[in-house]
Structure 1
Amino acid sequence: MAGPQQEAAGPRPTSRDVARVAGVSQATVSLVLGDKWRGRVAEPTAERVRAAARELGYRPNIAARNLRLGRTRTALLVVPALTNEFFARVYTGAARVAARHGFGVVLYPSPDGVGPARDPFDSARASLDGVLASSMASEALATIRGDELPLVMLDSDPAGSRGATTVNLDIADGIRQVTEHLLGLGHRRVLHLAADVDSWTFVVRARALAAALDGTGTSVRTVAAPLSVESARTVAETALTAPGPRPTAIVCDDDFLAAGACKAARRLGLRVPEDLSVTGFDDLTLATAVEPELTTVRLPAEEFGERGMASLLAVLDGHTPGTETLPVHLVPRGSTGPAPSGS
Structure 2
Amino acid sequence: MYKKKVTSSDVARKAGVSQATVSMVLNKKYNVSFSKDVIRKVEEAAAELGYELPKRKHHTENKREKLLVVFCPNLTNPYYVMLLQGIESRATEQGFGLFVCNTQRNLELEERYLKMMPSLNPQGVIYTCNPSRCFMPSVEELSAQIPFAIINNQNEKLDVDAVELDNSKLGRIMAKHLLELGHQHVGYIAPPLTVRQKQRSKRVEGFLKEFKDADLGNNVIIKAANEKMDKDVPGIDSEYRIGYDLTKELLAEHEELTAIVGLNDMIAFGILDALYDEKYKVPGDMSVMGCDNTLFARMQKISLTTIEHFVIYKGRDACDIIMKKIKTRDRQYSEMEPISIYHVEYEPRIVIRGTTSYPRARKRKT
Task: Give the TM-score normalised by the residue count of structure 2.
Answer: 0.66
Distance 1:333 1:121, change over 3 A: closer
Partner of 1:209: 207
**Are the equivalent residues in 2 in contact too, given 1:191–1:221 (CA < 8 A)?**
yes
Of 112, 117, 133, which aligns to 1:124? 117
Which letter does structure 2 place at the counterpart of 1:287?
A
Of 267, 270, 279, which aligns to 1:269? 279
**Are the equivalent residues in 1 in contact too, given 2:153–2:166 (CA < 8 A)?**
no
Distance 1:66 1:191, change over 3 A: farther
Choose 1 or 2 for highest CA Rg: 1
Which ranges of structure 1 fall in alignment gaps of 5 or more residues?
Answer: 1-64
Which letter does structure 2 place at the counterpart of 1:134?
T
Partner of 1:298: 308
SS at match of 2:186: strand
Partner of 1:194: 190
**Once the 2 structures are TM-superposed, how far is the Cα of residue 141 of structure 1 from its aligned partner?**
9.0
Distance 1:274 1:66, change over 3 A: farther
Q: How does 1:61-80 map to 2 (within 5 A)?
A: 67-69=60-62, 71-80=64-73
Which letter does structure 1 place at the counterpart of 2:224?
A
**Once the 2 structures are TM-superposed, how far is the Cα of residue 70 of structure 1 from its aligned partner?**
7.2
Distance across 1 between alignment mates of 2:276 and 2:95: 51
For residues 64-93 of structure 1, give each alpha carbon's deviation from its aligned partner in whole angstroms, at most 9, with x where no partner exists.
x99455754322111123333222221222
Give aligned pairs, total. 275
**Are the equivalent residues in 2 in contact too, given 1:131–1:149 (CA < 8 A)?**
no
**Are the equivalent residues in 2 in contact too, given 1:176–1:212 (CA < 8 A)?**
yes
Q: How does 1:76-115 map to 2 (within 5 A)?
A: 76-110=69-103, 112=104, 115=107
Distance 1:259 1:279, change over 3 A: same
**Once the 2 structures are TM-superposed, how far is the Cα of residue 253 of structure 1 from its aligned partner?**
0.3
**Once the 2 structures are TM-superposed, how far is the Cα of residue 140 of structure 1 from its aligned partner?**
10
SS at match of 2:209: helix
**Are the equivalent residues in 1 in contact too, given 2:191–2:239 (CA < 8 A)?**
no
Percent pairwise identity: 20
Distance 1:249 1:66, change over 3 A: farther
1:253 aligns with 2:263: yes
Partner of 1:309: 319
Q: How does 1:134-149 map to 2 (within 5 A)?
A: 134-135=128-129, 138-139=131-132, 142=135, 146-149=139-142
For residues 260-287 of structure 1, give each alpha carbon's deviation from its aligned partner in whole angstroms, at most 9, with x where no partner exists.
1112222333211111101001111221
Distance across 1 between alignment mates of 2:307 and 2:74: 21
**Are the equivalent residues in 2 in contact too, given 1:74–1:105 (CA < 8 A)?**
yes
Which letter does structure 1 place at the counterpart of 2:358?
P
Distance across 1 between alignment mates of 2:208 and 2:280: 26
**Once the 2 structures are TM-superposed, how far is the Cα of residue 115 of structure 1 from its aligned partner?**
4.5
Distance 1:66 1:222, change over 3 A: farther
SS at match of 2:109: coil
Distance 1:167 1:114, change over 3 A: farther
SS at match of 1:135: coil
Deviates more, 1:211-220 or 1:92-101: 92-101
SS at match of 1:154: strand
Of 320, 330, 350, which aligns to 1:330? 350
Which letter does structure 1 place at the counterpart of 2:153?
S
Distance 1:68 1:337, change over 3 A: closer
Task: Give the TM-score normalised by the residue count of structure 1.
Answer: 0.70
For residues 184-240 of structure 1, give each alpha carbon's deviation from its aligned partner in whole angstroms, at most 9, with x where no partner exists.
111011111112253132122012112222221322110113552223211111112
Which letter does structure 1 place at the counterpart of 2:276?
R
Which ranges of structure 2 fall in alignment gaps of 5 or more residues?
Answer: 1-57, 230-237, 330-338
Deviates more, 1:322-331 or 1:310-319: 310-319
Distance 1:182 1:121, change over 3 A: closer
**Once the 2 structures are TM-superposed, how far is the Cα of residue 254 of structure 1 from its aligned partner?**
0.6
Of 228, 235, 240, which aligns to 1:229? 240
Which letter does structure 1 place at the counterpart of 2:352?
P
**Are the equivalent residues in 2 in contact too, given 1:174–1:297 (CA < 8 A)?**
yes
For residues 157-205 of structure 1, give each alpha carbon's deviation from its aligned partner in whole angstroms, at most 9, with x where no partner exists.
55443x1121123433332222221111110111111122531321220
**Are the equivalent residues in 1 in contact too, given 2:160–2:341 (CA < 8 A)?**
no
**Are the equivalent residues in 2 in contact too, given 1:274–1:340 (CA < 8 A)?**
yes
SS at match of 2:206: helix
Partner of 1:13: none
Which letter does structure 2 place at the counterpart of 1:339?
P
